[in-house]
A and B are shown apart, each in its own frame.
Chain A
Amino acid sequence: MGSFIYSVLGDPFVQMLQMPDFLMQVVWEGFVSGILYALIALGFVLIFKASGIFNFAQGIMVVFSGLTLVGLHELGVPAFLALFITLGVMYVLAFSVERLVLRNLVNQPDIILFMATIGLTNILIGLGQWIFGGETKSMITEQLWLPTGSSVWEPGGGLVIFQHIDIAAAVIAALLIICLALFFSKTKVGRALRAVADDHQASLSVGISLNHIWVITWFAAGIVALVAGIMWGARSDVSFSLQIIALKALPVLVLGGFTSVPGAIVGGLIIGIGEKLFEIYWGPLFGSGIEGWFAYVIALIFLLFRPQGLFGEKIIERV
């Protein structure tokens, strides 16, 4: 019994102190995957805020956009033109989702809308495989002028490796978030978006077109998905199995709150770093490989004690 307590409360910390460089590496890896979770979660938050829809298809949008980009490049389209066309495809997607799905489901219960996005997921999986094939594709990292090498930092004889693509991911994510924040606070459309998020009827009555706003938010979520797709694709590859990983944005949302952009970021980082630390230092106690459910179980515990999340609004319905 004593040894068990030690292996839970003592040994992991001893290990951390013994190899501080390794601890730093673990935290860095967690930080990077946390940023990617946060990016995916950001897409969910954008749509949820504007339309109250829990967009289950956000994960497949990440894969679909990455696949479109790579697929176009394979067809001989130059990288940046492909990027541009992919943005166009995401706009068309946003437009058709609004026209064909959302507009027809106004005023339906949330759960119906949610199930409609699961249907949408199926459509995008099928279309993606149909057009681009099911094989794993590698991201066109260099063609997009993204860095590929790595740098080494040796604090006191230790070794911490930083991949340049990871640094780039962090920087680009930060830029994207700043752009979104500016867009929300400084532009007319952004202010309209926030108004819609606040009150649908009031914003309708001051002349904001809900349909137009929905297209814009879905397009914004599409851009975020494309960035997440490029980054994750550059770290591993673009394949359909990314879609299930993208579901991890859901526990991030529970932690951060469904309507909070800073919440998505903080939640992403907590889940990313937390699951890495737990997997490395406490995972062996459970036979490791716990990353698959750790985030969900944390979210489950959170749901029991603080359902609105860290930053969410307190209007959650108590049952």
Chain B
Amino acid sequence: MYKKIITGAVATAVAVATFVSTAHAEDTLYIPALSYRTGAFAGGGTPFANGFMDYLAMLNARDGGIGGVKIVNEECETAYNAQKGVECYEATKGNGALVYNPLSTGITLQLIPKAPVDEIPVLSMGYGLSAAGIGEKFPWTFTYPTSYWSQMSSILKYIDSNGGLKGQKIGFIYLDVGYGREPIPLLEKLAPQLGFEVAMFPVAGKEMQAQSAQWLNVRKERPDWMIMWGWGSMNPTAIKEAAKIRYPMDRFIGNWWSSAHADLVPVGEAGKGYVGANFSGIGTDFQALQDVIKYVIEPGNTRTDPSKVGDVLYNRGLYNAVIVAEAVETAQKMTGKSAISGADMRLGLENFNLDATRLAELGLAGFAGDLKGDCVDHEGGGPVFMQQWDGENWVKITDPIAPMSDVVRPLLEAAADAYVADKPEWKTQTCN
């Protein structure tokens, strides 16, 4: 009996060891996807991962990869857990990973110091450390197309254009972890400048489905506007509670992680009027998405539920893949190599140009605002637009709103300086 167990264990160990040691073939573009389809935030992680992977799979099926080189897209499950994130990073980086998209602020924070050492850039698309938008201080980290602070300033601008900010009371309800707390310094800084008042309503991570206390407080404080930085099952719960206390929905604004189909479909009609920020297109009326459907969804080479293609988070994951693919292509052109390295990828990320014509070429006309890679500006300063829930679907209601870069940029620079201060060997770069 024991003998059998031991023989079995040894055999498995040998099999695993031989498998691990087989190196990846040359001439592929290895792009790991640190995703989470389990754990408390699986509801957000799953559609994002689907969009990201399906687009890369479509490029493989339609164009044979990028620049004639196949993309190897390996998924590693992190369960939104920082320890598993590190493990996934270590397991995949040796295969020649080009870029990491951790989709978790916690994991991003761990990867930022590792990126320059291992020379693999980190693209934390619209999440992670806001200060990483300063390219001179963070050569290896990118937050394209925009950061939390810029986004908050765009939302404030939207409020300003809908009846003015001055003298208003803004309620800020947030997931009480690093991610949700990120924009607080900006709010505190801008409140006296622009003459509004802020009321904070933190929601503890494990209490995110029991928010009646927070919304009772909202009723007590009577803010004129509510802004939400939520994620996962916190979002539908919050919107339901808001509907319960009869908070006017068109004065409730979610950030881009709080305004997806996964958040509003469970709420349905009760969420009508809810406003959300977004930076990627909605729906499947784009040639590239039709290609995804044709080459990936219909043949069944995917884990996506076909009815969810074109949802907000799906499209955002897809947009993330678009930026990655574009950077790869740029890097290939700049270096003349077809199989690029992490360092080449960094160049690509600093030099790509996703303007309207290029987007149209990709079959994504009007999918997102112009985005140009830059050495100084790793944030992209991409404007966000507002969308509104009509009870069944999201409808775009504004043109892109530019962030208050004049206010945000100095704050970002100060934060970047503070980050670098206690790291004597931190590698910075000078542009031009």
Taking Cβ atoms with an 8 Å cutoff, the residues of A that contact B are 19, 22, 25-26, 29, 32-33, 129, 133-138, 150, 161, 163, 232, 235-237, 239-242, 244-245, 275-276, 279-280, 283, 288-289, 291-292
Contact B204 A291 (CB under 8 A): yes
- Identify the closest chain B residue to A233 (Cβ): B209
Docked pose: A113 CA to B202 CA in angstroms: 37
* Residues A245 and B206 in contact in the complex (CB < 8 Å), given A134-B43, A239-B40, A240-B39: yes
Contact A279 B213 (CB under 8 A): yes
15 A-B residue contacts at CB 8 Å?
A33-B212, A129-B42, A136-B266, A138-B265, A150-B244, A161-B244, A161-B245, A235-B240, A237-B209, A237-B233, A245-B210, A275-B213, A288-B200, A288-B201, A289-B204
* Residues A241 and B213 in contact in the complex (CB < 8 Å), given A136-B266, A236-B233: no
Partner of A135, one of B46, B201, B217: B46
Docked pose: A137 CA to B42 CA in angstroms: 11
Give every chain B residue within 8 A of A236 (Cβ-Cβ). Answer: 209-211, 233, 236-237, 240
Contact B206 A134 (CB under 8 A): no
- Identify the closest chain B residue to A135 (Cβ): B43
- Identify the closest chain A residue to B210 (Cβ): A245
Partner of A241, one of B46, B201, B232: B232
Closest CB-CB distance, B220 to chain A, in whole Å?
Answer: 6
Give every chain B residue within 8 A of A242 (Cβ-Cβ). Answer: 209
Give every chain B residue within 8 A of A22 (Cβ-Cβ). Answer: 216, 219-220
Contact B219 A291 (CB under 8 A): no
Closest CB-CB distance, A226 to chain B, in whole Å?
Answer: 17
Docked pose: A63 CA to B209 CA in angstroms: 12
Contact B204 A239 (CB under 8 A): no
Give every chain A residue within 8 A of B240 (Cβ-Cβ). Answer: 235-236
* Residues A161 and B236 in contact in the complex (CB < 8 Å), given A29-B212, A29-B216, A134-B42: no
Contact B206 A240 (CB under 8 A): no
Closest CB-CB distance, B44 to chain A, in whole Å?
Answer: 9
Partner of A136, one of B213, B216, B236: B236
Partner of A280, one of B43, B176, B220: B220
Partner of A134, one of B38, B200, B209, B246: B38
Of residues 212 to 237 in B, which have CB atoms within 8 Å of A's CB atoms? 212-213, 216-217, 219-220, 232-233, 236-237
Taking Cβ atoms with an 8 Å cutoff, the residues of B that contact A are 37-40, 42-43, 46, 176, 200-213, 216-217, 219-220, 232-233, 236-237, 240, 244-246, 262, 265-266
Q: What 18 additional pairs, Cβ within 8 angstroms, besides A136-B43, A236-B211, A237-B233?
A: A22-B216, A33-B210, A129-B42, A134-B38, A134-B42, A136-B236, A136-B262, A136-B266, A137-B266, A138-B266, A161-B245, A236-B210, A239-B43, A240-B42, A280-B216, A280-B217, A288-B200, A291-B210
Contact A241 B216 (CB under 8 A): no
Contact A134 B37 (CB under 8 A): yes
Docked pose: A244 CA to B208 CA in angstroms: 10
Closest CB-CB distance, A248 to chain B, in whole Å?
Answer: 9
Docked pose: A279 CA to B201 CA in angstroms: 11
Give every chain A residue within 8 A of B200 (Cβ-Cβ). Answer: 288
Partner of B237, one of A32, A163, A237, A276: A237
Most buried by A among B40, B46, B210, B266: B210
Contact B246 A161 (CB under 8 A): yes
Docked pose: A268 CA to B328 CA in angstroms: 57
Contact B209 A245 (CB under 8 A): yes
Contact A289 B210 (CB under 8 A): no
Docked pose: A236 CA to B263 CA in angstroms: 12
Docked pose: A112 CA to B326 CA in angstroms: 56
Docked pose: A74 CA to B29 CA in angstroms: 38
Partner of B262, one of A29, A135, A241: A135
Contact A241 B219 (CB under 8 A): no
* Residues A237 and B206 in contact in the complex (CB < 8 Å), given A26-B216, A134-B43: no
Contact A241 B204 (CB under 8 A): no
* Residues A237 and B236 in contact in the complex (CB < 8 Å), given A129-B38, A136-B266, A289-B176: yes
Contact B220 A138 (CB under 8 A): no
A-B pairs, 9 with minimum CB distance:
A134-B42, A138-B266, A136-B43, A244-B206, A236-B237, A239-B233, A236-B209, A289-B202, A135-B43
Give every chain A residue within 8 A of B39 (Cβ-Cβ). Answer: 134, 240
